[in-house]
Amino acid sequence: MTSAAILGGGPAGLMAAEILAAHGVAVAIYDRMPSLGRKLLMAGRGGLNLTHSEPLNSFLDRYGPARPWLEPAIRAFPPAALIAWCEALGQPTFVGSSGRVFPRAMKASPLLRAWLSRLGALGVTTRLRHRWTGWAEDGALSFDTPEGRAIARPDIVILALGGASWPRLGSDGHWSALLPTAPFQPSNCGFDVEWSAHLRDKHAGRPLKRIALTFRGRTVKGEATIAATGLEGGAVYALSPAIRDAIAQEGAVSGTIDLRPDLTREVLEQRLSIPRRGQSLSGFLRKHGGLSNEAVALVQEALHTGTSQDGLASLIKALPLLFRAPRPIARAISSAGGVRADTIDARFMLTDRPGVFVAGEMLDWEAPTGGYLLQACLATGAAAARGALAWVGEHREP
């Protein structure tokens, strides 16, 4: 029987294990943590976003420069296939108002339990608290375990050790010294903005709802959160690759935030043109500008620090922000960088290590939140497994 070692028990590794085991391969999953799927469980805390319902061509555009080499894997395991797979595990799905797809249970734990049960029925075994340290001189896999060094000599290997975000959940990027990689960078991350002590103390952790963030000609509507260190949230994450790369080249960079994207500047000017008649500025902005307490605080911050000399309406429509640095990768939702596309073939096999395949966030790609991250992890896990089966078929002795 052909044997396979899956290194990493996240979505990509589990999908690869399922496909290999269903084809009669003896599969063992190795993970450095005491349980599997920890990052998947974390992703499901606010509602597990499986994938997105937009047309596939638009969906594929979300992967930016990585689209050409990720596209075959995602077309072979598209959102429709992911939804069918999820429902076959007893987890019906629904499409939210944003087009995102969720399991009806919203949580990841029922899906993960059903998945692990299926893998167990297929004969998949697990080796927990095994930290991969590389290859031994004879080509065997080497691990550090609580009992000491361990060795494995499978016929095929699928590396699915994750990227470098949220290292406490298992994906710490320790393996990057062992493989040809592009440097890790935070993706879907917040950014440092230098708030005043007053704004930081009074409003940190508070949301900015129904805003629009603009950076260098691109505008994203959504929500953000005032953090003690700066700005986080969905609208920020969507622009994070562009902001991150600009900071790397130029240092601190400027963007703007529209606190009332539903109103034109002319309408705001008309609403704010009436006399204040003793009203405080904050009360006036809340009553006539329709601003939340958090939005008012940002306007006052800009006025007090002298970062804007525009009229109130113009300031509300384009409040300036100075992004100083991305937040650390350990706090990012995902990471860019990893195993370079030019070091794997079309089957996701390392070109310099026959029989060793790579999947998931280990690979050098990034995508926005909204279901695109999990979709690509599962799709590349499936592609690596299919590539491994094809490679074994080619090299099996007659």
The answer, yes or no, to whether residue 211 has pLDDT greater than 90, is yes
pLDDT reported for residue 311:
86
Tell whether 46 and 82 lie within a shared domain.
yes
pLDDT reported for residue 305:
75
Tell whether 109 and 182 lie within a shared domain.
yes
pLDDT reported for residue 310:
64
Structure confidence by residue, pLDDT tens digits, 221-234: 999 999 999 999 99
Q: Most confidently modeled of 69-83, 276-290, 299-313?
A: 69-83
Q: What domain count does the chain have?
A: 2
Q: What is the mean pLDDT of the segment spanning 147-155?
A: 96
Tell whether 285 and 140 lie within a shared domain.
no
Confidence of residue 133 (pLDDT cuts 50, 70, 90): very high
The answer, yes or no, to whether residue 44 has pLDDT greater than 90, is no
Q: What is the mean pLDDT of the segment spanning 265-277?
A: 91
Q: What angle do CA 251, 253, 259 make, to 5 degrees?
A: 155
The answer, yes or no, to whether residue 45 has pLDDT greater than 90, is no
> Residues of the chain with pLDDT > 70: what percent?
98
Tell whether 8 and 134 lie within a shared domain.
yes
Tell whether 263 and 357 lie within a shared domain.
no
Structure confidence by residue, pLDDT tens digits, 2-37: 999 999 999 999 999 999 999 999 999 999 999 999
Tell whether 33 and 180 lie within a shared domain.
yes
The domain of 246 spans 191-326
Structure confidence by residue, pLDDT tens digits, 350-398: 999 999 999 999 999 999 999 999 999 999 999 999 999 999 999 876 4
Tell whether 155 and 139 lie within a shared domain.
yes
Tell whether 370 and 276 lie within a shared domain.
no
Tell whether 367 and 305 lie within a shared domain.
no
CB atoms within 10 A of CB 121: 9
Q: Where are the alpha helices (DSSP H) in the chain?
A: 11-22, 38-43, 56-61, 67-76, 79-88, 109-121, 197-203, 234-250, 265-272, 281-289, 293-305, 312-317, 372-395
Structure confidence by residue, pLDDT tens digits, 306-355: 755 568 999 999 999 999 999 999 999 999 999 999 999 999 999 999 99
Which of 326, 345, 373 is a domain's end point? 326
pLDDT reported for residue 307:
59
Amino acid sitting at position 44: G
Q: What is the CATH number of the domain that holds 46?
A: 3.50.50.60
Which of 276, 294, 326 is a domain's end point? 326
Mean pLDDT of the chain: 95
Which of 304, 326, 348 is a domain's end point? 326
Distance set, CA 226 to CA 46, 238, 289 (Å): 18, 16, 20
Tell whether 204 and 315 lie within a shared domain.
yes
Confidence of residue 199 (pLDDT cuts 50, 70, 90): very high
Tell whether 92 and 176 lie within a shared domain.
yes
Tell whether 297 and 357 lie within a shared domain.
no
